[in-house]
Amino acid sequence: MSTAGEQDAGLSLQEEHESKTHRTKRRDGDRQKKKRRNERRKGGTRAGEGEEDLQAVSEKRERSKRKRAKSKQETSRRENNEEEEAQLTGGKGTKARKDIRNEKTRRMEKEEVREVEENVDKGKKKQGSTKKGEKKEDGGKQLVKGKAREVKKKKHKKTSEEDDDEEEDNDKDVVRLECLSPEELEKLKEAVDERKKLIQSLRGKPWAMKKKLVTLRESQEFVEKYEGALGKGKGRKLYAYKVLMTKKWMKFQRDFENFKTACIPWEMKIKEIESHFGSSVASYFLFLRWMYGINMILFGLTFGLVMVPEALMGRPYGSMPRKTVPRAEEASAMDFAVLWDFGGYAQYSVLFYGYYNNQRTVGWLKFRMPLSYFLVGVGTVAYSYMVVIRTMARNANESGVGDDNSFNFSWKMFTSWDYLIGNAETADNKFASITTSFKEAILEEQESHKDDNIHLTRFLRVLANFLVLCCLAGSGYLIYFVVRRSQKFALDGLENHTWWERNEVNMVMSLLGMFCPMLFDVISTLENYHPRVALQWQLGRIFALFLGNLYTFIIALMDEINLKRKEEKIVKFNITTWEASLYNGTVSENSTASPVTIHPADVPRGPCWETMVGQEFVRLIISDTMTTYITLLIGDFLRAVLVRFLNYCWCWDLEAGFPSYSEFDVSGNVLGLIFNQGMIWMGSFYAPCLPALNVIRLHVSMYLQCWAVMCCNVPQERVFKASGSNNFYMAMLLVILFLSTLPAIYTIVSIPPSFDCGPFSGKNRMFDVIHETLESDFPPWFSKVFSYASNPGLVLPFILLMVLAIYYLQSTSKSYREANVELKKKLQMVISVLFFL
Amino acid sequence: MGNKQTIFTDEQLDAYQVSLFSFSRLHGRYHELAPHLVPMDYTNEPDCKLPLALIVNMPELKENPFRNRIVESFSEDGMGNLSFNEFVDMFSVLSEMAPRELKAIYAFKIYDFNVDNYLCKEDLEKTLNKLTKEELTPEEVELVCEKTIEEADLDGDHKLSFADFENMISRAPDFLR
């Protein structure tokens, strides 16, 4: 209270001072004017004092009112009513300011200045004040309560009183405006700006809440009082209006921000997991959510621009050979087993490449279907690159340069506690890990002068890496050997071999995928890294292992593609003979080129390697998903159930001893997610349904895994912060993106499309569609320009230029980083010097 | 209107710069701690304070080893009794959206057990013991505190002033929580 009063007094003092200095500057000394001004000024201060009196009164009344509980509700109700009524400029509003405003609305037509003030006040009412404002209004209310019947009379009396005060205030301000010189206006503007800055930065100040609220209200009052009045003449109205709009806009922005935060999906779930399991487990779920966002966009692109136009505007099912199930397969086309395998009706639908027609334009919109198909394929890859690189850049900026070990113990002491932990078990783990970490640091400190440890550690690490390399080489050779064998078996015909030999490749890959990571885990205990670093090494190694899987998959696919292409040649030959036989039959009847009506299902079909590729990918994703979910249910859930219930009748303590509850495997899950996404990128060109499938899969995964984590897993032994891992995941994702777009690009560029299916059938290469579009859809000069631009003579120097630009940017960024380090050192030196002085 | 809804005027919400949703949730939590003491209607700025013992039992703070210090450093009377304003203040500083400088200021206050504006050796010892639940031997505690003062003390008075603390904490890679 007192500080506010002082500040008010201070303000009025300031006003007096300003007016004094101005008086001395003014040359036209009209005494009468001066006298009037003096009187008004005194009235102004009187008004100020009057306000303070009113405040004191209202405070007293406040305290007495507090004893009556009922009145609170009444007054709040009345406040709400009064606010509404005041807006209508009507009514029974008995609060002081509202009265003034009402009076002002009446006088609005008369004076321009009054209008400005009123606008400012209206804005102020909405943006409002807090304690003191409320108290003032309550005080006003109290006055009325005391004399309930004679409300109107009171109002008139009060309004007239306060009207005078306000009038004097207004006049005071009017006078101020007119007689301020430009320098004073500038100063005033600066003061207003300063106050505005204060309001902005108020959130970051460490003051007590009360002080902040009081300062906020005063600063707002000050700003509003002088801001609206700073514009000159006619511009004043516009200026005040602009200020009002800015304020409304800021409020709108703030509300929108709050709304946006409330809209983020799964936020509460993830926060709960974070508090139980620490931030490394939560980082997996954040990554999952981010992937979900990307897949939604990809889904939007493929669904909206490829699947929907074809479904709505393309030729319907059954109208063309490529869109119909062949006669031979028709009987089984609706079986569940066939559909689950994505054959039958699923195969001949918008879900796969083969369904699309190669008509240049489709429907009444003249939608360029093949062009759209091609561009969506390119666009999904381009978008993914952009998003991944942008996220990496943002993460890199945030993580900063923090690499020094200069404050090791201090940081351990002050920053190791995770304030987000809310669970007793996690807290216990955290305490234990902090203690261990301190003990480790102490041990290191005590033994830091010995050299043997370093050599031993280095030797062990080299040994571990060697072992891992042996493992990887071994598994690579094994996969190669098995693939070779299965190709030999396929040539022999699959029926001659046992189940094992038929499914050898899949089984070997699954077994490797299960046992090698465990082996890597054991080997990594030799290395003795910080858990975060160990996690990264583990991820890297499993990544290399999974690359082997990828390699076999691609080899198998390429083999099948080549097979299908050979078949295609044979089929093409057969079709020409078949057609010839048909026409031979009709010609003998002497009819002139009558269209032979054969049901599309009976036409012999060429093999469609693209659809086959799409189907393979879809089957892979489905089987991968099923495997993950089943491992989750059995490995985690069943294990937890067994441990919990068998514990009652088992000889040793299951919960602490051998099986115990499983920990959440962050590295395995992250890698699974990344490889899954790689498959999607590879296959979505040939099967537009893949992003849709993935969206469903990620959605289900999110809920299933959130439940499984909370229900069956325990927090890890060594709880560590995952701050550095994010860019690591992104880097792996980028590598996979690159690797997975390579095969797709290769097939687009070098393999001719099937002649009988898909939007590019009949062309020599798939990208010919671009050429065709340029020729037919754009004006002729465009294609000329384009042909010049795609001339190698122009493209090569351009590429060279880009390489040079990259080199230049990299060297400047390196030099900036070095300058940064230098500056930091200088700063440290300066600070220490300052302290000694 | 009802009895179960917190009532704030628009002006109050505006001054706090929050949305009604999060604010009323916060007030709901405050009210839960002592339903008979805390009124639902805040338009008239009632003056009630909740004692330390109640606040320290909130699930967000229960597991925190520094919970007593946290509550004490936000209370005006230094004894840990929080009014609603101070309650809001505390949670706003602890939230992720508070600026780093603000968190550093309050972190210093929290770790300063004897409230003398310096982190002396006794403060550090108490901090360490709370962090490790007294699992370290006294020699180890001694060593760690020595090393900490050695690392961060710039003016050579064998205790950490706020400037030392801020200098050290601003370089920490994961000081955000």
Write down the pLDDT at residue A651.
78
pLDDT of residue A298 exceeding 80:
yes
Closest approach of A446 to chain B, Cα-based (Å):
10
Give A-chain residues touching B107 at CB under 8 angstroms: 414
Nearest to A130 by CA among A51, A221, A196: A221
Backbone dihedral region of A762: left (phi > 0), alpha (psi from -120 to 50 degrees) or beta? Answer: left
| pLDDT for the residue A722 | 52
CB-based contact B19 A434, cutoff 8 Å = no
- Alpha carbon distance A662, A639 (integer Å): 8
Beta pairing partners, B160? B119
B136·A438 Cβ contact <8 A: yes
Distance CA A433, CA A794 (A): 61
- The whole-number average pLDDT for the span B117-126 is 88
Measured between beta carbons, the chain A residues lying within 8 angstroms of B15 are: 128-130, 213, 216-217
Closest Cβ–Cβ partner in B44, B89, B169 for A134: B44
- Judged by CB atoms closer than 8 Å, whether chains meet at A414 and B12 is answered as no
Strands B49-50 and A713-714: unpaired
Pairwise CA distance, residues B86 & B68, whole Å: 15
Q: Do B18 and A407 touch (CB under 8 A)?
A: no
DSSP SS3 for A362: strand
Residue of B6, B11, B89 best to disrupt the A interface, most CBs of A under 10 A: B11
Give tens-digit pLDDT for A31-52.
Answer: 545 455 444 444 444 444 444 4
Task: Give the number of residues written for chain B.
Answer: 177
Determine the pLDDT at residue A588: 55
Judged against a pLDDT cut of 80, whether residue A372 lies above it is answered with: yes
pLDDT value for A224:
73
- Identify the DSSP state of B41: B
- How many residues does this entry show for chain A? 837
What's the number of CA atoms in the CB half-sphere (13 Å) around residue A434?
27
- Taking the CA of residue B76 and the nearest CA in chain A, the distance in Å comes to 8
Residues of A in contact with B14 (CB under 8 A): 127-128, 251
Scanning the structure block, which residue is given the tokens 């009847």?
A589
Helix, strand, coil abundance in chain A, percent, nearest 5: 80, 0, 20
Residue of A nearest to B146 (CA): A409
- Whether the predicted pLDDT of A15 surpasses 60: no
Q: How many CB atoms lie within 10 A of CB A398?
A: 10
- Give the three-state DSSP class for A786: helix
- Minimum distance, in Å, between the CA of residue A406 and any CA atom of chain B: 7
Cβ contact B60–A128 (<8 Å): no
CB contact under 8 A, B85 and A213: yes
Cα–Cα distance between A554 and A679 in angstroms, integer? 11
- DSSP letter at B18? -
CB-based contact B11 A129, cutoff 8 Å: yes
Q: Is the pLDDT reported for residue A560 higher than 90? A: no
Q: Is the pLDDT of residue A542 over 80?
A: yes
Pairing of strands B82-83, B49-50: antiparallel
Report how far Cα A599 is from the mean position of its chain's Cα atoms.
51
Chain B residues in contact with A401 (beta carbon < 8 A) = none
Nearest CB partner across the interface for B171, out of A128, A407, A413: A407
Contact A265, A710 (CB under 8 A): no
How many angstroms separate the CA of residue A258 from the nearest CA in chain B?
6
**pLDDT score for A816:** 92
Residue A494 has what pLDDT? 60
Topology of the domain comprising B100-171: Recoverin; domain 1 (1.10.238)
Report d(CA B2, CA A634) in Å as an integer.
Answer: 50
> Which residues from B are below 8 Å from A415, CB to CB?
169, 172, 174-175
Q: Is there a common fold for B10-94 and B100-171?
A: yes
pLDDT-based confidence at residue A118 (cuts at 50, 70, 90)? very low
pTM of structure: 0.63
Q: Which residues contact A221 (CB under 8 A, 6 or more apart)?
A: A124, A129
Selected for mutation to probe chain A from B6, B9, B117, B146 (highest A CB count within 10 Å) is B9
Q: Phi and psi at residue A362, in whole multiples of 5°? A: -130, 130
- A93 vs A177, residue with greater confidence: A177
- Minimum-distance CB partner of A835 among B10, B154, B174: B154
**Burial of B41 by CB count in 10 Å (0-12 exposed, 13-18 middle, 19+ buried)?**
middle
* B98 Cβ contact partners less than 8 Å away, ≥ 6 residues apart: A203, A204, B92
A138 → chain B, closest CA residue: B44
**3-state SS, residue A135:** helix
* Nearest beta carbon to residue A442 from set B107, B143, B151: B143
* Stretch (H or E) spanning B83: strand B82-83
Q: Which one of A208, A413, A414 has the shortest CB-CB distance to B76?
A: A208
Domain boundaries, chain B: 10-94, 100-171
DSSP A761: T
Residues of chain B contacting residue A259, judged by C-beta atoms under 8 Å apart: 19
Show Cβ contacts of residue A807 under 8 Å, excluding neighbours closer than 6 positions: none
The answer to whether A520 and A538 have CB atoms below 8 angstroms apart is yes
Question: Least CA distance to A126: which residue of chain B?
Answer: B11
The C-alpha of A22 sits at a distance from chain B's nearest C-alpha, in angstroms, of: 36
User: Is the confidence at residue A19, as pLDDT, over 60?
Assistant: no
- Interior/surface letters A788-818, b for 16+ CB within 10 angstroms, e for the rest: eeeeeeeeeeeeeeeeeeeeeeeeeeeeeee
Average model confidence (pLDDT) across chain A: 72
**What is the percent of chain A with per-residue pLDDT over 90, rounded to a whole number?**
9
Say whether B64 and A419 touch across the interface (CB within 8 A).
Answer: yes
Nearest chain B CA: its distance from A622 CA (Å): 39
Question: Is B168 a residue whose pLDDT tops 70?
Answer: yes
Closest CA to B70 of B92, B90, B86, B50: B90
Contacts of B45 in chain A (CB under 8 A): 131, 134-135
Assigned superfamily of B10-94: EF-hand (1.10.238.10)
Q: Measure B112 CA to nearest chain A CA, in Å.
A: 12
Q: Which residue has the tokens 């621009």?
A: A305
Q: Which of B44, B126, B164 is the best mutation test for A, with the most CBs of A within 10 A?
A: B44
**Whether A835 and B19 lie within 8 Å, measured CB to CB:** no
pLDDT tier at A618 (50, 70, 90 boundaries)? confident
pLDDT at A136 over 50: no
* Exposed e or buried b per residue across A473-512, where buried means at least 16 C-beta atoms within 10 angstroms of its C-beta: eebbeebeebbeebeebeeeeeeeeeeeebebbeebbeeb
| Cα-Cα end-to-end distance for chain A | 41
Consecutive H or E run containing B49: strand B49-50
Q: Closest CB to A422: pick one of B59, B135, B155.
A: B59
- Contact between chains at A72 and B154 (C-beta distance less than 8 A): no
User: Can you give the pLDDT at residue A256?
Assistant: 87
Contact B44, A70 (CB under 8 A): no
DSSP string over A708-737: HHHHHEE--SS----TTHHHHHHHHHHHHH
| Alpha-carbon distance values, A593 to A431, A584, A590, A596, A597 (Å) | 89, 11, 9, 8, 12
The answer to whether B173 contacts A399, with C-beta atoms less than 8 Å apart, is yes
CA angle A479, A284, A396 (to 5 degrees): 100
CB contact under 8 A, B127 and A414: yes
Answer yes or no: do A79 and B10 touch at CB < 8 A. Answer: no
Asked if A427 lies within 8 A of B132 by C-beta distance, the reply is no
Q: Report angle CA A660, A663, A665 to the nearest 5 degrees.
A: 140
SS (H, E, C) A310-324: HHHHCCCCCCCHHHC
Helix axes A131-146, A96-107, angle to 10 degrees: 90
Residue B67 — very low, low, confident or very high, per pLDDT cuts 50/70/90?
confident
Do A406 and B19 make contact, defined as CB atoms within 8 angstroms?
A: no
Residue A291: the pLDDT is 93
Residues of B in contact with A420 (CB under 8 A): 177
| Chain B residue with Cα closest to A215 | B15
Within 13 Å and on the Cβ side, how many CA atoms surround A347?
32
Q: What is the pLDDT of residues A460-512, one digit of tens each?
A: 888 888 988 898 888 888 877 887 777 777 677 666 667 677 667 777 777 77
Nearest CB to A407; choose among B18, B65, B168: B168
Query: What is the band of A704 on the pLDDT scale with cuts at 50, 70, 90?
Result: very high
ipTM topping 0.90: no
User: Is-contact B81 B50, C-beta < 8 A?
Assistant: yes
Contacts 24+ apart (CB under 8 A), A498-505: A505/A479, A505/A552, A505/A556
* For testing contact with chain A, the best of B14, B103, B162 (most A CBs within 10 A): B14
pLDDT per residue over A755-809, tens digit each? 878 888 878 888 888 888 877 777 778 778 877 887 888 889 999 999 999 999 9
Taking CA A603 as the corner, what is the angle to CA A602 and CA A608, rounded to the nearest 5 degrees?
A: 120
CA-based nearest residue to A100, from A162, A47, A154, A24: A162
Q: Compute the radius of gyration of chain A from its Cα atoms.
A: 39
The confidence score (pLDDT) of residue A93 equals 37
**A406: nearest CA in chain B?**
B151
CA angle A401, A403, A407 (to 5 degrees): 120
Yes or no, beta carbons of A442 and B140 under 8 Å apart: yes
How many Å from the N-terminal Cα to the C-terminal Cα in chain B? 38
Q: How far apart are CA A692 and CA A306, in angstroms?
A: 12
A140 CB-contact burial (10 Å; exposed 0-12 / middle 13-18 / buried 19+): buried
Is A415 close to B172, i.e. CB distance below 8 A?
yes
Find chain A residues with C-beta within 8 A of B167's C-beta: 831
**Whether A721 and B174 lie within 8 Å, measured CB to CB:** yes
Q: How far is CA A48 from CA A7, A11, A53, in A?
A: 12, 10, 9
Select from A67, A68, A198, A419 the residue whose CB has the most chain B CBs within 10 Å, as the one to mutate to test that interface: A419
Higher pLDDT, B176 or A661: A661
Share of chain A above pLDDT 70, in %: 69
Chain A residue closest in CA terms to B171? A402
Residue A159's nearest CA partner among A213, A224, A104 is A104
